[in-house]
Every structure is written in structure tokens, then in C-alpha cells.
Amino acid sequence: MTPRIDITLNVNGSDHDIRVEPRRTLADALRQDCGLTGTNVGCEHGVCGACTVLLDGEPVRSCLMFAVQAQGRRLRTVEGLANAEGLHPLQQAFTDHHALQCGYCTPGFLMLAVGTLERHPDIDDESLREVLSSNLCRCTGYQNILRAVRAVRDSRRLAREDAR
């Protein structure tokens, strides 16, 4: 075992002081050291996307980063989506559109969708499909996931138009 390093990870607005080996992936540090087990590990080599989190607002595969590399960055995980008022609109949409069955891929898809819609609120259907094809789902066949994300995109667009 290599000497551990003391680092601070800022996750969903809170600082977590942890002590990890350099080889500890960000995914494992979030789960084991920060106790945030919402982020799942599927393939552990970057092909399934179940471990997707937001790093300074951008979706990344947390199994392909080492925790030590995430110091000083703003991390968001699925635990940060719901608030005192209730579920995040995307979480509600996933429920409403039956976009999950076993739920294992869901945190990864949620963070991918959150990051995508926040940075590209007017993303078109084809581009959205491209982006969502980043992640694997064995249960749903993907169509309901697409529907759920499109629904949130569209309702936000309507809200923006109503506000004018």
C-alpha cells in the first residue's frame, strides 16, 4: 500500500476531508470514504457510465479519475439532486415515465442528463440521443429514459417561454 494523502472533496456543496491512496478512484472515494453510495460502479473501466458525476458542471466517468485529482473542483452526485422541496424534476420525470427498473444505471443517467440540460437547455432530439447513448442500461431499452429527459427539456422550455 502506498502512503495515503489527505484531501478535501467538495461534493454537493459540502467539504469531505478524507485520506486516500493515490490509486483510489473518485468513484470509490465518493462511495467508501465520503459514504455517498448513490454513485454506482458498473464496469470500473469507463464503458458503462453508471459512475457518471458532474465535475464543475460537466459529466465525467468517476471510475476514470483518481480522487486526488478532484481536489479543488466542484463535484455533484445524485445525492445532491433532491432538496427540501422534493425530487429534482429529472428524478420525478424518471418516475413518471418509468425510466428505471433495477435503478442501477439511474444515478449515472441522471447526472449525465442534469449536466447536459444545464449546459445545453435547447439541445435537439438527435444530439440528446447521442449524449444519452454514452451510458448503458440493461433493463429499460432506453426509450423511457429518452422520454423522461425530453419531457424535462420541453417543460423547461415552455416555462422559459411563459416567462417572457
- Footprint on this chain of other proteins (rule: CB under 8 A): 1-2, 5, 21-23, 25, 28, 44-47, 49, 52, 55, 58-61, 63-66, 68-69, 112, 116, 130-131, 133-134
And the C-alpha cell for 16? 469531505
Which of residues 1 and 84 has its CB atom nearest to other proteins in the complex?
1
Which of residues 68 and 92 has its CB atom nearest to other proteins in the complex?
68
Cβ at position 21, least distance to other proteins in Å? 6
Cβ at position 162, least distance to other proteins in Å? 30
Q: Within 10 Å of residue 90's Cβ, how many Cβ atoms?
A: 21
Which of residues 133 and 143 has its CB atom nearest to other proteins in the complex?
133
Which of residues 8 and 133 has its CB atom nearest to other proteins in the complex?
133
Which of residues 55 and 99 has its CB atom nearest to other proteins in the complex?
55
Cβ at position 121, least distance to other proteins in Å? 16
Cβ at position 99, least distance to other proteins in Å? 19
Alpha carbon 115 to chain centroid, angstroms: 8
Cβ at position 43, least distance to other proteins in Å? 9
Q: How far apart are CA 56 and CA 60, in angstroms?
A: 10
Query: Which residues are registered as beta bridge partners of 10?
Result: 15, 74
Q: Give backbone dihedrals phi and psi of 71, rounded to 5 degrees, phi first.
A: -60, 145
Tell me which long-range contacts 62-65 makes (C-beta under 8 A, separation of at least 24).
62/25, 62/26, 62/27, 62/30, 63/25, 63/26, 63/27, 63/28, 64/25, 65/25, 65/26
